Amino acid sequence: MKVSCALVFAATLLASVPLLADPPSNDFIYDPWATCPSVPPAAPTTALTASSMNPPMHVSADRLNGYVHGDSLLTGNVQAIQGDRQLHADSMRYNSASGESHATGNVKFTSPTILLNGPSADYNFNTASGVFYDASFALPKRHGRGQASLLKLLDNDHQILSDVHYTTCPVGSKDWMLNAPDLVLDQSNNTGTGHNVTVDLFGVPIFWTPYINFPLNDARKSGFLAPSFGFSVTSGFDLTTPYYLNLAPNYDATLAPRIITKRGLDMGGEFRYLTNNSKGTLDLNYLPHDRLANQERGLFQFSDTTKLDDQGWNFNTAYNWVSDFNYFQDLGNSLDAIATTTQERHAAINFQSPESNWTFLSQVETWQVVDPTIAPKNYPYRLLPQMQLGWQSDPTSNGPQYTFNSELVQFQQDQEIGALRLDLTPDVSDTFGNTGYYFTPTVGMRLTKWDLNQNVPLGTETQLTRSMPIISLDSGMFLQRNLGSTGDFIQTLEPRLYYLYVPYRDQSQIPIFDTVQPQFSFLQLFTTNQFDGADRQSDANQLSYALTSRLLNANTGTQILEADIGQIRYFRNREVQLPGVAPQTNLFSDVVGDLDLNINDHWSAVYTQQWNPTTRQTDFGAVGLQYHPAHHQVINLGYSYNRTLNLKQSDFSFAWPLTSHWSMVGRWYYDIQNKVTLESFEGFEYDSCCWDFQIVHRRYITQLGTQSGTQTGQANSMFFFQLQLKGLTTIGRHLEDFLQNGILGYSDTDQYQ
């Protein structure tokens, strides 16, 4: 039997061990201030001791003149140090009794939270309060700076600023500037407030608000969030202006009115809650009249997870609803949303605990179908209810291991046969061997009964049963050797044999309720059933043989390469199939193989192939290659092929810097067989020290069709942009999640928010 050369590619790679470096660390940390000039460190200060709330003063100057009642006049290089606060000036009048001072000439004040420069200041060292005139200030922890005609330090935690101009841009740059007649900063509550606030970009006002209330850190705070903008050829301009409500420490809400120029006003909102035992989310959208669709439209989504006790009992529920079939196609903005076919609704109680050998699930589950191409007779079955009970013996004990799994479910469907199905699968196994080999025989039974009780045609048997033994023998070896001149690598060889015997039982009279046949893969070489679901149990008399090899770093234990290859030898025909599928008579399964390779810190690759020895053709194949040297520097190339589905698709995506400030992103997801671009986007990003701008044009298929025998697609085109004023806010459509979903590896580690 001749095997595709691609499936033995792993052997060639294993021979090239010295070329391989350590696997990638994936430790890409994005520094938003990386393009900023270096900031000189603050002057060293004396640490404040925990035992002293008002530490002693240390004053020095070139000249000191003493006066009565504690008044002193210091001139020339004046330095006053008190704990973690310092004041420098050309001259200073100071009263040691009251702590009051008046400094003039090149006044500089430093503390852990603020740095000040100005011509003069009045400051009280006893109360940590003062007034600075025509002051330049810097907030080192927020990378911000600015000017104020008057800056009052009320105490360590409260400041009032008048005629304020603030930015995070470096000295000499005013790309953006926040201007306000007054700002009040409350460090104790991490809150800032201001009135008549204007934000300028290159001297042009882009935002104004009569009142602003904002957090001084990342804490939650009620107020307007940055608006999001977009443009769609179909729907027109799309503007959302969310308002965040910090209702309590454990729940909040966001109101998100959305104006779609060609459709109307969509009122959206989200409510979230978190308690000691529960967490949940409620999403609502309501469009009273869609002018394009000429109808009322809406969306409702609710989910909740509740911990019932400390023993492992939980309750979870979800309810999702949309007003019409085309809701996501018209109002969604992603290919994933367009591909949504159902909305799930369920309520479940489950039990699972590491200390217990038992598991339990009881739920009801229904679906709303939102794909108009699905006929009602093909709608998924409702589970009313479904119950699962499982048990296993202690896996740490010696001797035989016992497991028991069971399911009782009522299937209901308006136009198809409904049934109550009971499925029981007990088994016992025992493992012999040591660290170098193992041998595990398993004997089990599958006992299933159907009670057909809905839409049953006349003359159809309503009581159906099926029982059969399931016998398997699983064995394998684990071999390893050191590679490299200094033994820095470990190579393993893991051969495996898996024999499965399941006698044939005629199941052709059993309806299909939830059973499908998944794509054949390497993992299916070692499963007891080629189907997912209990309506079919495959008959089997077969032997699977496979080989896995890994390449590990001997020092860290991390995996550099994993290569798998395997096949099944059938000793009899497989009679049990889904309706309309003929019995399978081939002696050998397809050869399946996987390859997962981390070439070095920058390169990685994955490869999967399913090769048919009878036709000598590839039935399924997929390959992916990634180059990922740094954060927001990634190139992905992928290709997939499925001969059964007549599918050929390519996927190319990238994010790459063009200069120190400019970078580009893009994706092209293409259906080669139908010659249709399923999704594409391209965009640019400009990243400066204090602001960042992104613009993306996106085009994606909303509906495939055929015209004159040629596959065509109805497409939508959209524009997104995002302006981020670093340290202040983000304006536009938040693109980070969108780009992360569209470009594998775009943001896979810590990043600036």
Does residue 397 lie in a domain region?
Answer: no
pLDDT (0 to 100) of residue 337: 64
Q: How far is CA 239 from CA 36, 200, 333, 361, 661, in A?
A: 32, 21, 13, 43, 28
Domain count along the chain: 1
Does residue 89 lie in a domain region?
Answer: yes
- Summarised one tens digit per residue, pLDDT across range 612-627 is 998 999 999 999 999 9
- Determine the Cα–Cα distance for residues 594 and 609; give it in Å rounded to an integer: 7
pLDDT (0 to 100) of residue 244: 86
**564 CA to centre of own chain:** 29
Does residue 153 lie in a domain region?
Answer: yes
Does residue 239 lie in a domain region?
Answer: no
Query: Quick one: DSSP state of residue 332?
Result: -
pLDDT (0 to 100) of residue 731: 62
Residue 745 has pLDDT above 80, yes or no: no
Token readout for 457 is 């045609």
Top pLDDT among 729 and 559 is at 559
pLDDT (0 to 100) of residue 732: 53
- Summarised one tens digit per residue, pLDDT across range 500-533 is 999 999 999 999 999 999 999 999 999 999 999 9
Does residue 439 lie in a domain region?
Answer: no
- Summarised one tens digit per residue, pLDDT across range 332-350 is 755 556 667 899 999 999 9
DSSP SS3 for 648: strand
Residue 18 has pLDDT above 70, yes or no: no
DSSP SS3 for 460: coil
- Summarised one tens digit per residue, pLDDT across range 50-75 is 344 567 888 889 888 877 667 888 89
List the alpha helices (DSSP H) in 312-356: 327-331, 335-338
CA-wise closest residue to 253 among 261, 263, 262, 242 = 242
Question: Which string of b and e fits 698-730 if b means at least 16 CB within 10 Å?
Answer: bebbbeeeeeeeeeebebbebbbbbbbbbbbbb
* Average pLDDT, integer, range 259-276: 93
C-alpha angle 345-414-530 in degrees, rounded to nearest 5: 70
pLDDT (0 to 100) of residue 31: 67
Strand partners, 283: 270, 301
- Determine the Cα–Cα distance for residues 658 and 685; give it in Å rounded to an integer: 10
Does residue 617 lie in a domain region?
Answer: no
What's the pTM? 0.75
The DSSP line for 467-501 is: EEEEEEEEEEE-EEEEESTT--EEEEEEEEEEEEE
* Average pLDDT, integer, range 717-743: 71
Top pLDDT among 10 and 446 is at 446
* Average pLDDT, integer, range 430-446: 94
The DSSP line for 139-188 is: EGGGTEEEEEEEEEE-SSSEEEEEEEEEESSPTT--SEEEEEEEEEEETT
Does residue 718 lie in a domain region?
Answer: no
Percentage of the chain surpassing pLDDT 90?
50
Residue 114's domain comprises: 58-223
pLDDT (0 to 100) of residue 16: 37
pLDDT band at residue 2 under the 50/70/90 scheme: very low
Token readout for 79 is 């330095």
Is residue 585 within 8 A of residue 577, CB to CB? The reply is no
- Determine the Cα–Cα distance for residues 457 and 466; give it in Å rounded to an integer: 21
Token readout for 198 is 């204007």
Phi, psi of 53 (to 5 degrees): -80, -20
Token readout for 367 is 């679906």
DSSP SS3 for 299: strand
Does residue 400 lie in a domain region?
Answer: no
List the alpha helices (DSSP H) in 271-359: 327-331, 335-338
Indicate which CATH number applies to the domain containing 99.
2.60.450.10
